[in-house]
Chain A
């Protein structure tokens, strides 16, 4: 009895609170027909927004992978002063609200901030352009790769790595043939999460993007712009692209969970 009630309540809650809103996005996007939907997606500004969003992710991903591998390797393999503090600092972006994060960047890298102000005389501007969007995206996504790699590195491979070094492998060979095969699944997982978040970030990006039409509008910002322009159907159409991306992320995650090696979460 309790079982049936609890399961039904769970489904009712998740359906009403989570599933129905997602369905409503698609319903509204197609409410004026498929032709309007296609026209909305192919709208010039929306396409530019998609382009900028993908470009941002393509810049953020490699930087974050380099950082994530380096930081996870450092924390997993070496003991040094400040190791615990480093881990807490790397996790901090998860606890900081997006608007506060955006503000922090503006205060330092903006034209009135110490770094932005110092660069301004040389004609370099870091905020209200692609650089600014990339910087805050790096901030909001930086814990993902480290978080996935660290548990895997903690449980695997140190002996293999030492053996490889003793047998004369250089650093690159060690990474390419010993470390990378061990962490590849976790790395893919981290990359998927990073990509999804980088393309979907709204609050932090909205602070530093400057909202220049057709120039610094990422897809999430474009959704807000269309919505405020009373083009709700266009906004919902743009939203379906990001929704599809989110659902794809979940599917990829499910596949990685099922077919990848069991994760070494401690």
Chain B
């Protein structure tokens, strides 16, 4: 976040021009479309909303999406911490390459990510072929959805945790060691605790991204209703049926959940920092 505390008396020209351009753009491109969704939602009675959201197909889609996102986020929390740690603390051959590879999911269009994962995990793919011999199927199952979500959101976890590790003081770890802390104590109390706020940020960003991910998932998901259909796809299906209220209800729920998580993490963050400071 950028600090917003600088004061500037208005000697500089261009206030009304930049204000005009910004307000016009923000209104047409962000506010108006978002209020369109709100408006559509407002026309739904609570009963209609519940009817849409409690239909079995929607419930299963939400369950599939939430559970896959949860597992993907767990994987990303563990490997995000591991990758961030290796990148910050160690100097080794190929570190620059590793650093660059972590950013690929940011840069790669999601449709390409989806088709890339299919190329790898379907029965003629390198990994999919090997697993088929063992009778394990990943492509077109729930596990495929998880892998797609891991792929697209792992950089969020790594990049959220990295700066916090940079700020850790290696001297404290050494001190803990000389004071007789064992490996587990050292890890949980000296390393993990101060990193908690940033791990939390990484986890929430990763989860929110996974909830909304579409392109990467639909290629590998198989998209069977009641089985491997994600919530975003169901929105698109309702749209194709011109059932705008149902599409808006599902979309509003996803959006509300994402925003709620982001707001909660910001609030918790502030408390956590205060707590860690008074404890330390």
Contact = CB atoms under 8 A, between A and B. Distances in A.
Pair from one complex: yes
Interface residues of A, number: 100
Contacts of A17: 147, 150-151, 154
A135 B151 CA distance: 28
B82 A13 contact: yes
A107 B22 contact: no
Interface string B40-56: 10000000000000000
B100 to A, nearest CB: 6
A13, A171, A207, A221: most-surrounded residue (chain B CB, <10 A):
A13
Which residue of A115, A220, A221 has the most chain B CB atoms within 10 A of its CB atom?
A: A220
Contacts of B107: 196, 246-247, 249-250
B236 A86 contact: no
A42 interface: no
Contact of B37 (A104, A235, A236): A104
B192 interface: no
A76 B211 CA distance: 33
Interface in A28-76: 28, 63, 66-67, 69-71, 73-76
Contacts of B150: 17
Nearest to B255: A100
Interface in B219-270: 219, 232-233, 235-236, 239, 244, 247-248, 251, 254-255, 258-259, 262
Contacts of A86: 22, 26
A99 B214 contact: yes
Interface string B188-226: 000000000000000000001001111100010000000
A200 B85 CA distance: 31
B116 A203 contact: no
A119 interface: no
A66 B111 CA distance: 29
B147 to A, nearest CB: 8
Contacts of A221: 111
Interface in A1-28: 3, 6-7, 9-11, 13-22, 24-25, 27-28
Interface in A75-92: 75-80, 83-84, 86-87, 89-90, 92
A112 interface: yes
Nearest to B230: A99
A177 interface: no
A7 B86 contact: yes
10 smallest CB-CB distances across A and B, nearest first, come from: A97-B212, A200-B109, A108-B36, A104-B33, A202-B215, A107-B36, A203-B214, A21-B116, A70-B21, A24-B119
17 contacts: A67-B25, A70-B17, A84-B4, A86-B22, A93-B30, A95-B259, A99-B235, A104-B37, A107-B40, A165-B12, A202-B109, A220-B109, A220-B111, A224-B111, A239-B111, A243-B116, A250-B107
Interface of A: 3, 6-7, 9-11, 13-22, 24-25, 27-28, 63, 66-67, 69-71, 73-80, 83-84, 86-87, 89-90, 92-93, 95-101, 103-109, 112-115, 135, 138-139, 142, 150-151, 154, 158, 161-162, 165, 170-171, 174-175, 196, 199-203, 206-207, 220-221, 223-224, 227, 235-236, 239, 242-243, 246-247, 249-250, 253-254, 266
